[in-house]
Structure 1
């Protein structure tokens, strides 16, 4: 998956749930990412 596709999906609410850290970085829980990938397959 291209990075731009992932960021576009995240911006439109179709990506996995993310957390923004105080320094502005974005993090994704591993379990949220796995569940999101699993949902794409179905």
Structure 2
């Protein structure tokens, strides 16, 4: 099975265990990962962007 390259907002939120409203709040505040806005207005997040975004937030113990 091939790895999906893009996540929907719903899939992104499911991966992180957050509500979609949290994603949209982060987006409004400029804290969300980079995303792609499709011509129909839907949003997609690259899997690689999710990993990069999480890596930037990793804190050493």
CA RMSD of aligned residues (A): 1.3
The TM-score, its normalising length taken from structure 1, stands at 0.75
For structure 1, which runs of at least 5 residues remain unmatched after alignment?
A: none
Give the TM-score taking structure 2 as reference length: 0.57
The runs of 4+ residues in structure 1 deviating greater than 6 Å are none
Higher strand fraction (1 or 2)? 2
Richer in helix (by share): 1
Q: Name the larger-Rg structure.
A: 2
Structure number with the bigger relative contact order (C-alpha 8 A, sep ≥ 6) is 2
Alignment coverage as a number of residue pairs: 42
